[in-house]
């Protein structure tokens, strides 16, 4: 399968990924879960590189959820260390490829060394314009929406506007992604048929692609399959076929 079969003028502007299956992949190899997380982290580099080559403008990866803090302490520490290593090792590549790194979520919960490396890469890449790599870290969509409600309520109390003036476009400005397009395509690996508290507001009309492939095995060919499937879809956004 080749990227030449893609219609490059019909690529999704924003692709969101839930990279699931590291633990199951490791078990299949007769290894500990840690082994799967290491391979999965390495795979992030491959997919980010390919997305950049194709010309995808925004790539959001669900790196660590609010709920993931409840995992065994040792596993959380390993995941945090892998994130820190990624930020250090890939910083030069991110800058060289003019990728802008962003992060959404309650990142203040991250261990200080991880947060420092994250902020450093975000700052150094802030002027890059060729692609946005958006990590959802310590992220949960419900907490994002609650945060937005709190902030918008504060502004109403301050008299900045009346409650009846709030519409969906206005509300979206209070989310973590006010200047980003909503995801056109969500890819979830490992076959799980759920969105796991990820971008609930933003994915109201997102096309979903679920593959049985586990994240460490999700390579360029698998990414192409998802994009080709997306290009077969007719996106109507609530309209009828005759209205499009």
Give catalytic residue positions.
20, 68
Per the CB < 8 A criterion, the answer to whether 84 and 113 are in contact is yes
What is the C-alpha separation between 204 and 141, in angstroms, rounded? 12
H/E/C letters for each residue in 50-94?
Answer: HHHHHCCCEEEEEEEECHHHHCCHHHHHHHHHHHHHHHHHCHHHH
Assign 32 to helix, strand or coil: coil
Per the document, the length of the chain is: 244
The phi, psi pair for 140, rounded to 5°, reads -145, 135
Closest CA to 97 of 134, 145, 132: 132
Per the CB < 8 A criterion, the answer to whether 171 and 152 are in contact is yes
What's the Rg (C-alpha) of the chain?
19
Residue 141, C-beta contacts closer than 8 angstroms, at least 6 positions apart: 197, 198, 199, 200, 201
- 209-226 burial code (b ≥16 CB/10 A, e <16): bbbebbbbbbebebbbbb
Residue given tokens 């492939």 in the structure block: 213
Closest CA to 50 of 61, 59, 38: 59
């Amino acid at each position: 399968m080749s990227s030449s079969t893609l219609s490059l003028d019909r690529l999704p502007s924003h692709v969101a990924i839930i990279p699931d299956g590291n633990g199951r992949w490791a078990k299949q190899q007769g290894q500990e879960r840690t082994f799967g997380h290491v391979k999965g982290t390495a795979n992030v580099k491959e997919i980010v590189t390919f997305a950049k080559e194709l010309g995808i403008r925004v790539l959001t990866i669900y790196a660590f959820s609010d709920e993931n803090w409840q995992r065994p302490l040792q596993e959380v520490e390993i995941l945090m260390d892998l994130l820190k290593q990624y930020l250090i090792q890939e910083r030069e590549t991110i800058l060289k490829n003019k990728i802008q790194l962003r992060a959404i979520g309650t990142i203040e919960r991250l261990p200080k060394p991880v947060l420092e490396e994250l902020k450093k890469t975000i700052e150094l890449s802030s002027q890059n314009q060729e692609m946005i790599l958006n990590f959802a870290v310590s992220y949960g969509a419900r907490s994002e929406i609650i945060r937005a409600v709190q902030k918008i309520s504060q502004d109403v109390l301050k008299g900045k506007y009346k409650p009846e003036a709030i519409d969906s476009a206005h509300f979206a400005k209070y989310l973590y992604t006010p200047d980003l397009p909503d995801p056109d395509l969500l890819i979830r690996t490992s076959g799980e048929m759920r969105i796991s508290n990820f971008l609930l507001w933003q994915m109201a009309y997102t096309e979903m692609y679920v593959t049985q492939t586990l994240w460490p095995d999700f390579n360029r060919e698998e990414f192409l399959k998802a994009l080709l499937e997306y290009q077969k879809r007719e996106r109507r956004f609530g309209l009828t076929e005759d209205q499009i």
